[in-house]
Structure 1
Amino acid sequence: MQFDLREFKFAEGGDTMSLEGYGAVFGNVDSYGDVIEPGAFAKTLAHHKTAGTLPQMLLEHGFSASPLPVGKWTEMSEDGHGLKVKGEILPTSEGKDTYIALKAKAITGLSIGYRPVEFEMRAKPEDPRRRLKSVDLVEVSIVGNPANGKARVASVKSADAIITIRDLEDTLREAGFSKSEALAVCGRFQAKTDRRDSGADAATVADFDRLLSKIRA
């Protein structure tokens, strides 16, 4: 199975941790020297539609701490740009960590896992290695370093999910903050949390986003 990377984004608001973007972009040479041509996903998407399924949503192609899906794709289709995908991240511990990293733009890539079905090899040295005419799409992963730089998350939809101060500290450290910087952010976030009527050691992702934006400004 081979991989190819793209871009995604979050859309604000709503009740779920959702994202959308392009799992693949047509006409762009990826790091493997391949080009995916329009229509390459037509047969595999038709097969999934008949079966009532969609390819899995994995984190780093299943090479993360858990090989289980980190979410589920709810829509996939081809348009003039590429393979457009929409999905929801599961409210598991790994899903929440992934969501926070996406919101912080610590990871921004999408990558497809596929088997080439029909393709043309290059005729000249300057040509792409292969032109993929048809592929069997197995999964679309959220990744840190996509093979195709144009495969990115375009939007992320906030869930009013609850995250703890310890969650924030761990996520900030993973995103590159020093321990002292992470503790400073968490201290400010805790102060905000303490002003809530609930008084719980938790707050929403949206609150964290607003605080982090102010710190980075």
Structure 2
Amino acid sequence: MLPQNPTAIPALEQKAAAADLSGVDAEGSFHGYASLFGIADLAGDTVMRGAFQRSIAARQPSGIRMLYQHDPAEPIGVWTEIREDGRGLFVRGRLMLDVGRAREVASLMRAGALDGLSIGFKTVRARADRQAGVRRLTEIDLWEISVVTFPMQPDARVSAVKADPNQPSSRLAARMRHAALSLNRRNPK
């Protein structure tokens, strides 16, 4: 159940996913996966398909914050699309480049120094699978998605990025091919 007072900030859990964000475009746009379904993270939690649906429907992308390192005092952009698909939680966002921290984040992304996405949430429903040693998250109240340094779920990656006019296109194309090959090897259909 979503909280009655949307301005009250509860104690949130956090889960991070690695992402190749080096190709953030000149407008600060990028996209990828903030969480993958059915894959245990380093803390032993597995997010199940459908876990985000109620929260996304209630909040919409405009109600889910883009933060830097989960710091509520560091909003850096907006999410323009957040949806579940067959793989996980797909996100598309835009850094607000007139904000100093967002310019720094864009620069760090382009250099490959910052490559993680992380969700900040409250668990609504979960069940422990003692045999597998994991907690299966079946409903999540999603509050924010952050760009972070250290990801908790290393297998989630950005699927594609727009070209930055300051980067040679062949370098970006090579990165995108490498990311796609890595994804296909890890997640065969």
TM-score for the superposition, normalised by structure 2: 0.74
What does residue 130 of structure 1 align with?
Answer: 135
Residue 109 (structure 1) aligned with residue 116 (structure 2) = yes
SS in 1 for 2:101: helix
TM-superposition CA deviations, 1:16-48 (whole Å, max 9, x none): 110101010001111110000000001101111
What does residue 80 of structure 1 align with?
Answer: 86
Residue 37 (structure 1) aligned with residue 44 (structure 2) = no
For 2:134 and 2:49, locate their aligned partners in 1 and report how far apart those are by CA, in whole Å.
17
Residue 144 (structure 1) aligned with residue 149 (structure 2) = yes
For 1:128 and 1:90, locate their aligned partners in 2 and report how far apart those are by CA, in whole Å.
40
CA deviation after TM superposition for structure 1 residue 53, in Å: 3.0
> Which amino acid in the other structure matches residue 115 of structure 1?
K
Q: Is the 8 A contact 1:5 1:150 kept in 2?
A: no
For 1:36 and 1:13, locate their aligned partners in 2 and report how far apart those are by CA, in whole Å.
27
CA deviation after TM superposition for structure 1 residue 156, in Å: 3.9
For 1:61 and 1:12, locate their aligned partners in 2 and report how far apart those are by CA, in whole Å.
22
What does residue 175 of structure 2 align with?
Answer: none
What does residue 128 of structure 2 align with?
Answer: 121
Stretches of structure 1 lacking an aligned partner (at least 5 in a row): 161-205
CA deviation after TM superposition for structure 1 residue 158, in Å: 5.2
Cα root mean square deviation, aligned: 2.3
> Which amino acid in the other structure matches residue 150 of structure 1?
D
CA deviation after TM superposition for structure 1 residue 150, in Å: 1.9
Q: Greater helix share, 1 or 2?
A: 1
Residue 94 (structure 1) aligned with residue 75 (structure 2) = no
Q: Is the 8 A contact 1:17 1:156 kept in 2?
A: no
What does residue 4 of structure 1 align with?
Answer: 15
For 2:105 and 2:49, locate their aligned partners in 1 and report how far apart those are by CA, in whole Å.
30
* Identity, % of aligned positions: 31
Stretches of structure 2 lacking an aligned partner (at least 5 in a row): 1-11, 172-189
What does residue 182 of structure 2 align with?
Answer: none
TM-score for the superposition, normalised by structure 1: 0.65
CA deviation after TM superposition for structure 1 residue 82, in Å: 0.1
For 2:26 and 2:103, locate their aligned partners in 1 and report how far apart those are by CA, in whole Å.
14
CA deviation after TM superposition for structure 1 residue 159, in Å: 6.2
For 2:23 and 2:148, locate their aligned partners in 1 and report how far apart those are by CA, in whole Å.
21
TM-superposition CA deviations, 1:195-215 (whole Å, max 9, x none): xxxxxxxxxxx0xx44xx7xx
SS in 1 for 2:151: coil
Q: Is the 8 A contact 2:69 2:147 kept in 1?
A: yes
